[in-house]
Structure 1
Amino acid sequence: MTSPQPTPAPGRVGSAIGWSYVVTAGRIGSSVIVTFLLAKLLGPSEFGLLAMATVFILFAQTLIQQGLVAAIVQRDKLTAEHLDAAFVVLVLAGLGVGLLTAAVSPLWALINRAPDLTEVCLALSPLVLVQGLSIVPEAILRRELQFRSIAIRTLLASVLSGVVGLALALGGAGIWALVGQQLVNAVAGLVVLWLVCPWRPSRRPKLGAIRELWAFSAHAANAGLGSLISSKADILFTGIFFGPVATGIYRLAARLPDMLVDVTVRSIQQVSLSSLSRLQQDRARFAAHLVQLQHLGAVAGLPVLGVLAATARPLVEFLGPQWAGTEIPLQLLCVFGAVNVFGVLLGPALQAIGQPGKLAAILWSRGLLGVATLAAVGALITSDDPVGQATAVAVAGIAIQLTVNAASIWVTVHRVARASIGRFLAPTGPAVLAALAASLVPFATDRLGVDELGPLARLLVVGAAAGLVAAAVLWSTDRPLRQLVTPRLMRLRRTRAATGTPAGAHSVEASATRSTEK
């Protein structure tokens, strides 16, 4: 581990992207099912309390991480001493910050005017130490593009925690079903992570080695804290100004688009830091690879967000009357997710090219803009309607994301990667059209009488129609996608005819590989 990392072969990057999709798709697939079932069993207040507690815990976890994940993944020369020192620092920090988090939990409950929040925060405070124990082995696996191992860990933890959460909810545990789900997910993930990671810390760590990681990680930690503030300011201020019910409505509405962005674009983001880092000395190849990744992310992410926007109304009706009206912020947050698709890869790109300071500046600017905007929204909205309050926060979030993404693209693509912004955005045009077409499908299906069906039947019909429309538009307008997929389909047909092997038996990895070779 002491030698510089070679430029990864396209096949290896493609395999990593394929496994990254498996990781995220499995986790999100199980999470979607569990979230729907828990939403039917519980209400907005329970979801809101958990969201308010989770934001508090995330701040503590970000403090201990100190950007060391990015430093370990990005560094060309990494030694065992670096890893040992980082592990000791993280475990000690996790223990200390975890105890501090538990101690100040009553203050956080007081700020949010939610007395029940104290016990929830206390119960979740061990997650800080779990994070400290997880960071180094997970960073090693990501650095080595070992996403198969990460997949095993993530999927097992997600499924096990979902089963526990549902069992507790059915038993009448209320908010504690959600708390139990979070704790089981973290502990199970930690156990599996240490089983699949071959690295073990030394008994005599040399703490002086941490200084060599600190130069990069200090900037990355600054960026990470800025990212957390910018991404969680909506939950933070919704809870402080409007309480658990509005927070629960907003969190459920935000969670579904977030899941889709996770399973599509963030699957690529997990691999992008490693693959782009190996091209940091060649700006032309770096820019070309970034454009390819952004095109892949748009193709994967935008159409499904359009389908979600189309199915928002029957989906909310299916969840039950306690969620009535949530379709409005849900559709708005699909727009937010679509805007976010164009920003997810920019952070790893700046880290990969050795510019974490610029990333920190962007994220802190977004965080401060978000704090100011959302504080103004909280002060100006006097309505007691939780749906209206969540809708106002969603509109503010879209405006903030548009502003920051425009600045981020200019800095990352034009100034740092020295590429054309038009070249960066142009390949995503067909995906944008596909998303718009999918979102308009309900106007047609309602005229055909589909709105008279039950919520579940309407959800299935509208979802299928929107998916078909999105696929048709994308296929007819995205020539690079056709050039990528058509030869693959022809080879699959020939192979199937020759061997009788079902087309579905071929691996996802080969498709992902060809997207990176293009």
Structure 2
Amino acid sequence: MSLRQSFTSGVVWMSVGIWVEQAFNFIVFAILARLLGVEAFGLLAMAAAFVLFSEFLVRESISDILLTHEELSPDRLNSVFWLLAVLGGVLTALLFLGAGPVAWFYGEALAGDLLVGLSPTVMMIALTAVPVAILRREMLFRVLALRAVVGAVIGGIVGITMALSGYGVWALVGQRLATTATNIVMAWGAVSWRPAFSISRDHIREVLKFGHRIIGLRAAELAAVQSPAVIIGALMGPTQAGFYAIAWRVVEITSFLLITPFRTVAQPAFGAMAREGGEASSLLIDLMRLTGFAAFPAFAGLAVLSEPILVLLFGQKWIPAAPVLSLMSIFGMYLCIEKVQQTFCLAAGQAGRLAALSWVEVLLATGAIAIASPYGLTVVTASFVAVFLIIWPLKFGNLASIAEQSTLTLVQLHFVPLILAVVMAVAVQGVVISLGGWPQVVVLLLGTITGVVIYVLLAFLFQRDRFHLLMLMIRPRAEPHEAGTTPNKIEG
């Protein structure tokens, strides 16, 4: 199978797995939101911010070196595994020790207890990162897709059962632990490699040299999306943190569905193209075209229809989160494009400048949130989003330098889909205004239909190259490309 065909097959499997997983997760999420209420989600978001930060550092960090290096020797695998085991153990211990200070910081004793309850997932994920990297490198995405779906189902059953049994916010902890444990069993069951104590100092040094840059990037990436929950919880209380958490969760799921299949498959594909002497920038441009084509209209529609979506999914008590969701939808557009950019930089082994820019975003966003907190949650969210939009051009410049492309060329890829998405959103907003007083389900249904019809028509008129590219991704050419050649690039 050619690299292009392997890429397409991987995207298909990951798309199916992720969409099924997230569909089930979203149903569970909606049920738990109705059963548990705003404060429970706010408390969990406040505690989970620290756990998610630690999980991110061990999930796709040091193990990413296994996606780019030409040789997977036992010593290299062992070195990565034991470094992650040590890192996971240290982070888990820090979470246990930090439970008291976290409870004091928030003024909520339960936040510290939740931190302790969630902390084992860090070590669990650290011990599974190498098998997952092996599956990604070998492009065995069918296994990863099934793993995600089964984990979501088992975790959802546990969470709902605990919520109905009166466990309150601890149902969310049980859901997370059950999902992670299932993922561990399925990942290790799919690979034949097992760790040993044969490691190499040279490999350790090489992994550490690679790892400190990518850990810095991953830390900045997660700090960017988790620091708002921490600051809002500390300065504005768990209820406001709950409204922010629900809006962010909707944006996170939407972006996950749109971009994760491409991002997950793209990094090993970029690495494989580089090993074969191909030009990875051609695949980068194709992915950026598809990402903007899908992400801009999806989030533009989400921004306009935020209130009926929240009411229908979670109930009337979540209406105050609607303005936050509308603003966070703009961040969702940024997030999808940035994920593709990040994947290319990681595959090229050049994460240093991107990590520095990401930490600038975190520091500026933290300051903006703290300054804006007296003015309400909507102003806080607007300030947060504005910081990322200001720094975004610098990230395009960094990507252009690595991909040896013009910055303007990369930016222009998104002009047309953005304009068409804005036109679509204006039309949908007109429908929402004209239906004032109608049931929310009618507003959502007619608004969605209007948006889809208008965008498809506009895209057919002005973005036919994207349709052609999408068809090529779905139905790749049968002829395998010889090693050392570049897959055909779509012009236009």
The two structures have a TM-score, normalised by structure 1, of 0.86
Within a 5 Å distance, the mapping from 1:52-201 to structure 2 comes to: 52-64=46-58, 67-201=61-195
**Which whole-Å CA distance do the structure 2 matches of 1:485 and 1:182 have between them?**
35
Deviations 1:293-347 (A, max 9, x none): 1111112222211222232121223222321221111111111111223312121
Counterparts of 1:404 and 1:55, CA distance in 2: 23
Residue 421 in structure 1 maps to residue 407 in structure 2: yes
- The corresponding residue for 1:431 is 417
The structure-2 alpha-carbon separation of the partners of 1:8 and 1:207, relative to structure 1 and needing over 3 Å to count, comes to farther
Query: Aligned residue for 1:482?
Result: 467
Partner of 2:325: 330
Change over 3 Å in CA distance of 1:371–1:85 after alignment to 2 = same
Q: CA RMSD in A?
A: 2.6
Contact 1:274 1:352 in 2 (8 A): yes
Question: Shift of the alpha carbon at 1:47?
Answer: 0.8
Question: How far does residue 67 in structure 1 lie from its aligned partner after superposition?
Answer: 2.7
**Residues 472, 198 of structure 1: alpha-carbon distance in 2 compared, 3 angstrom cutoff:** farther
> What is the letter of the counterpart of residue 482 of structure 1?
F
C-alpha separation between the residues in 1 aligned to 2:59 and 2:252? 23
Provide structure 1 residue ranges, at least 5 long, that are not aligned to the other structure: 1-6, 489-507
Determine the C-alpha separation between the residues in 2 that align with 1:28 and 1:151.
11
Using a 3 Å threshold, how does the CA distance of structure 1 residues 259 and 513 change in structure 2: closer, same or farther?
Answer: farther
Match of 1:453 among 429, 438, 441: 438
Which residue of the partner structure matches residue 510 of structure 1? Answer: 475
Any conservation in 1 of the 2:301–2:448 contact (CA below 8 Å)? yes
1:472 maps to which of 424, 436, 457: 457
Q: How far is 1:188 from its partner?
A: 1.1
Is the 8 Å Cα contact of residues 304 and 429 (structure 2) preserved in structure 1?
no
Q: Contact between 1:13 and 1:513, CA under 8 Å: does it hold in 2?
A: no
Q: Secondary structure at the match of 1:223?
A: helix
Alpha-carbon distance in 1 for matches of 2:94, 2:384? 31
Instruction: Give deviations 1:236-286, integer Å, cap 9, x for gaps.
Output: 211221121111101111111221111112321112222222344899933
Q: Which one-letter code corresponds to 2:454 in the other structure? A: V
Question: Is the 1:310–1:466 Cα contact (8 Å) retained in structure 2?
Answer: no
State how far apart, in whole Å, the 2-side matches of 1:339 and 1:512 are.
31
Distance in 1, Cα, partners of 2:342 & 2:271: 12
The match for 1:298 among 282, 289, 292 is 292
For residue 340 of structure 1, what is the aligned residue in structure 2? 335
Contact preservation (8 Å) 2:286, 2:469? no
On the 8 A contact 2:63/2:80 being kept in 1, the answer is no
Q: Which amino acid aligns with 1:401?
A: F
2:440 equivalent to 1:440 = no
- Which range is displaced more, 49-58 or 69-78? 69-78
Give the Cα separation in 2 of the matches to 1:372 and 1:40: 33
Counterparts in 2 of 1:512 and 1:295: CA distance versus 1, 3 Å:
farther
Cα distance between partner residues in 1 of 2:432 and 2:219: 45
- What is the aligned-residue identity percentage? 24
Q: Which amino acid aligns with 1:314?
A: P
Question: Is it true that 1:405 corresponds to 2:399 in the alignment?
Answer: no
Q: Which of 190, 193, 198 is 1:205 aligned to?
A: 198
Could you tell me whether the CA contact under 8 Å between 2:229 and 2:241 is conserved in 1?
yes
Distance 2:360 2:276 in 1: 29
Aligned-partner SS, 1:77:
coil
Tell me if structure 2 keeps the 8 A contact 1:15–1:512: no
Q: Report if the CA contact (8 A) 1:310-1:463 is conserved.
A: no
State whether residues 302 and 338 of structure 1, in contact with CA within 8 Å, keep that contact through their aligned partners in structure 2.
Answer: yes
Q: Tell me how far apart the structure 1 counterparts of residues 470 and 211 of structure 2 sit (CA, whole Å).
A: 40
The verdict on how the C-alpha distance between 1:513 and 1:343 changes in structure 2, with shifts beyond 3 A counting, is: farther
**Equivalent position of 2:370 in the other structure:** 375
**C-alpha distance in structure 1 between counterparts of 2:38 and 2:22, whole Å:** 20
- One-letter code of the match for 1:338? M
Shift of 1:509: 5.1
Cα deviation for residue 41 of structure 1 reads 2.0
Q: 1:444 to 1:222 in 2, by over 3 A?
A: closer
Structure-1 separation of matches of 2:88 and 2:337: 33
Q: 1:394 to 1:182 in 2, by over 3 A?
A: same
* 2:44 is equivalent to residue 50 of structure 1: yes
Q: Which amino acid aligns with 1:206?
A: I
- Give the distance between the partners of 1:133 and 1:399, measured in 2 at CA: 37
| 1:177-326 to 2 correspondences below 5 Å | 177-202=171-196, 204-206=197-199, 208=201, 209-280=203-274, 285-318=279-312, 319-326=314-321
Contact 2:297-2:455 at 8 Å conserved across structures: yes
How many residues matched?
Answer: 480
**Is 1:362 aligned to 2:347, yes or no?**
no
Please state whether the residue corresponding to 1:104 is helix, strand or coil: helix
Distance 1:222 1:33 in 2: 34
From the superposition, tell whether residues 12 and 257 of structure 1 become closer, same or farther in structure 2 (CA, over 3 Å). same
Alpha-carbon distance between aligned partners in 2 of 1:451 and 1:194, rounded to the nearest angstrom: 53
CA distance in structure 2 between the partners assigned to 1:429 and 1:221 by the alignment: 32
Question: The residue matched to 1:345 in structure 2 has which SS?
Answer: helix
CA distance in 2, matches of 1:284, 1:200: 32
Alpha-carbon shift at residue 131 of structure 1 (Å): 1.3
Q: Could you give the per-residue CA deviations for residues 127-172 of structure 1, whole angstroms, max 9, x where no partner exists?
A: 1111111111111111122111110111110122122222222333
The answer for unaligned runs of 5 or more in structure 2 is: 480-486
User: What is the alpha-carbon distance in structure 2 between the residues aligned to residue 8 and residue 404 of structure 1?
Assistant: 38
Instruction: Judge conservation of contact 1:10–1:513 (CA < 8 Å) in 2.
Output: no
> Is the 1:8–1:275 contact (alpha carbons within 8 Å) kept by the matching residues of 2?
no
Residues 479-508 of structure 1, C-alpha deviations (whole Å, 9 max, x = no match): 20233467x8xxxxxxxxxxxxxxxxxxx9
Q: Which amino acid aligns with 2:29?
A: T
Is the contact made by 1:98 and 1:128 (CA closer than 8 Å) also made in structure 2? yes
Q: What's the secondary structure of 1:266's corresponding residue?
A: helix
Q: Which residue of 1 aligns with 2:484?
A: none
Matched residues in 2 for 1:263 and 1:465: separation? 22
Deviation at 1:46, TM superposition (A): 0.8
Query: Is the 2:45–2:245 contact (alpha carbons within 8 Å) kept by the matching residues of 1?
Result: yes
1:81 CA displacement: 0.9
